Amino acid sequence: MALPSSVLFCCDHNAIRSPMAEGMMKKFYGRQVYVQSAGVRSDMDVDGFSIAVCAEIGVNLERHRTRSFHELQEWGDDLGAFDLVVALSPASQRQALELTRFFHLDVEYWPIMDPTGLGEGREARLAAYRLTRDQIREHLLKRFGPPTEL
């Protein structure tokens, strides 16, 4: 399957799921695709458990800076310029469809579990975040094919 030239991943806060998806997309497919992520809101920093479980597979999220749809547009990324928007939460899907209703682009919804607050203790929480990471990885591979970079 041909890769799109640009993809925007979105979720609620741009702190867990969408940064994971952005980081893995960049790792798996390199510079063949322009990739960004955004949230409905940007009121949190990137989650430390997300950073930890992505580091396990060689994806560095430490420098990720959260941003909302609004901030993304303020910083110069026009939503209409993306070939594909992938929503990872119901709220981000609604926001993406609203903001792109006048553009000709695809919006897909991938139902990815929010690991926030799941598990008692560090190891149980890490397990929940790993499950989320692995769900995203499975969707990426199914949608875009095997990694071209590693």
pLDDT in tens, the chain (150 residues): 678 999 999 999 989 999 999 999 999 999 889 999 999 987 778 889 999 999 999 999 998 888 988 888 787 777 778 899 999 999 999 988 888 777 778 889 999 999 988 778 889 999 999 999 999 999 999 999 999 876
Virtual torsion, Cα 108, 63, 128, 24, nearest 10 deg: 50
Q: What is d(CA 52, CA 31) in angstroms, rounded to the nearest whole number?
A: 24
Give just the sign of the alpha carbon dihedral 114, 119, 120, 122: negative
Tell me, what's the pLDDT at 139? 97
Which residues, in sequence order, are CB contacts of 31 under 8 Å at separation 6+? none
Tell me, what's the pLDDT at 1? 63
Helix, strand and coil percent figures for the chain, each rounded to 5: 45, 15, 40
Cβ pair 139, 110 in contact under 8 A:
yes
What residue has token string 């095997």?
A: 146
Q: What is d(CA 131, CA 44) in angstroms, rounded to the nearest whole number?
A: 21
Tell me, what's the pLDDT at 90? 93
Whole-structure pTM over 0.85, yes or no?
Answer: yes
Nearest CA among 57, 101, 67, 103 for reference residue 82: 103
Nearest CA among 44, 15, 8 for reference residue 129: 15
Tell me, what's the pLDDT at 72? 82
